[in-house]
Chains A and B, each alone.
Chain A
């Protein structure tokens, strides 16, 4: 029997959100193939106990067997060392597929595994159909384009696009997963690139990725100075300020404020997009916004197609007027 192996990252005693999504897609694949889902969980010596106590609970997520790989050679994260651990499990079993989430680490580790085993890998898959050749849909352009492709290899390897498939919900009654402890074979070469430290960043106001309201500005602002009016509106609303790529590449604003494919993905209740045309690069970063209010002179700008509300006009006049109106409304009680 050829099973489906899933890389699972743990958080709070269960799979983290993206791993639960990978388990969801992998579960469907295993049902289609009439095989079992296995999980591989890695842990350094400090995390081995908590991983061991969480592992049986993966049964609720459809996992039959957990391969728990731990040891002090996994203590400081080294991508190739973690790949060696997964590769060991892969070669110790008989797997039709190895699936990872689209997290930064899981993607990196699976790429290493695929390279080490000299097999193809597909990233950011959203559907998979087994057959003589496996057919998949995967995201290109951060999800603005879908590619239908064929994937070969034994095992087939792919990552699951983040927030594109439903996460597996834990079953209320389920059998505990069988846990198999594995001692990995990790060479010094596998640990050449590894984490040697961690730096905690200072608090910096409302975080863009978590903000409930985001005020964004783009080329239409025309200058670095003009962003002062966005800062003002954002302060009145308790919002975070975000910008389009052009505002960072022109040096108007720091890259940390960039919303988009190469910047931060936002998911606010309301995104107020000022002087932003709506290039694909930007739109994919704001896809998860519940509502978009556009302020723009050009009604043909692509961003109008994504908007719930719009004010047609020059941001330089409209934004200060809104701030004034908010102050007036507040002043009047």
Chain B
């Protein structure tokens, strides 16, 4: 079995977003970077599929040279190979991103054979374009389901469950297929120390992608206007309990 998993490097924003002076990006000088949450689960799913079926997994991202760190994170938990579509770090829209990934997949498949499953996240946590997986599927003429919370890959067919308010919709799709997942499909493992050391020594294949024009273009970013919230401090420590209960009464909760 061959699995390709697509990830995105995003800043770990914590409690507050700070913008750069030109308001065209997030000020990341004091931030760490992680794999976007849905894709972190896609990586775990790829590793489990190869553990169960044998074969090879490849992780791919489009991003700045430093995104090699996130590819190594994926290799540290068991992904075999990594490919970086290296950019100058500027914002790539989903129209350009998916076209570049489609080109790379064609090259990877010409060299190493078709991927049975291509995994990705339902949407990236930062830009949230909700479309790279679908565009890739259309470009490669493959079936796709998005937003999946459970996946089984059988002989020539994948069964995928998508959570809906009263339960789950069950999809089937023939392989080769593309599936984008949501966090909760699994609980990603932590990398072991030997895993990290192995990943550090592994090569990251670098490709300079061609940027297709025509997609939406970012003009500037702004923080939404938040209402100024006045906090009423009810007290300190367990002694505050009676005031909390009085408040619960007042609010009609008790």
A interface list, Cβ under 8 A from B: 77, 79-80, 104, 107-108, 111-112, 114-116, 120-124, 135-136, 139-153, 159, 189, 192-201, 209, 212-213, 237, 245, 248-249, 251, 255-256, 258, 261-263, 269-270, 277-281, 283, 291, 293-294, 301-314, 317-318, 320-322, 324-326, 329
A-B contact pairs, 23 of them (CB 8 A): A108-B134, A108-B147, A114-B131, A115-B137, A121-B95, A140-B127, A140-B128, A141-B13, A144-B223, A146-B222, A146-B223, A194-B173, A195-B171, A237-B248, A258-B184, A277-B15, A279-B15, A308-B230, A311-B236, A311-B244, A318-B237, A325-B244, A326-B248
Chain A interface, >50% SS class: mixed
Which residue of chain A has its CB nearest to the CB of B159? A196
The number of residues on chain B lying at the interface, defined by a beta carbon within 8 Å of a beta carbon of chain A, is 84
Determine the chain A residues whose CB is within 8 A of the CB of B61 once the complex forms.
none
- Interface membership of B125, Cβ < 8 A: yes
* A196→B187 CA distance, assembly (Å): 26
- Interface membership of B170, Cβ < 8 A: yes
* A135→B94 CA distance, assembly (Å): 17
| Contact A144/B17 with A123-B130, A139-B128, A313-B240 known, Cβ cut-off 8 Å | yes
Given contacts A148-B220, A196-B159, A262-B184, 4 further A-B pairs with CB under 8 A are A80-B143, A136-B216, A193-B173, A309-B234
Taking a contact as CB atoms under 8 Å apart, the answer to whether B131 and A123 are in contact is yes
CB distance from B253 to the nearest CB of A (A): 6
| Contact A145/B17 with A213-B253, A304-B231, A311-B244 known, Cβ cut-off 8 Å | yes
Q: Which of these, B93, B127, B137, contacts A120 with CB under 8 Å? A: B93
Taking a contact as CB atoms under 8 Å apart, the answer to whether B17 and A141 are in contact is yes
* A325→B146 CA distance, assembly (Å): 47
Which residue of chain A has its CB nearest to the CB of B10? A141
Determine the chain B residues whose CB is within 8 A of the CB of A136 once the complex forms.
216
Taking a contact as CB atoms under 8 Å apart, the answer to whether B183 and A326 are in contact is no
- Interface membership of B161, Cβ < 8 A: yes
Chain B, 204-254, CB within 8 A of any chain A CB: 214-224, 226, 229-242, 244-245, 247-248, 251, 253-254
Taking a contact as CB atoms under 8 Å apart, the answer to whether A305 and B229 are in contact is yes
Which residue of chain B has its CB nearest to the CB of A236? B254
| Contact A147/B232 with A141-B126, A237-B248, A279-B14 known, Cβ cut-off 8 Å | no
Chain B interface, >50% SS class: mixed
Q: Which of these, B17, B141, B177, B187, contacts A251 with CB under 8 Å? A: B187
Which residue of chain A has its CB nearest to the CB of B130? A123
- Interface membership of B166, Cβ < 8 A: yes
| Contact A307/B229 with A189-B141, A198-B169, A322-B245 known, Cβ cut-off 8 Å | yes
| Contact A147/B221 with A115-B131, A291-B251 known, Cβ cut-off 8 Å | yes
Which residue of chain A has its CB nearest to the CB of B125? A261
Determine the chain A residues whose CB is within 8 A of the CB of B242 once the complex forms.
325
CB distance from A302 to the nearest CB of B (A): 3
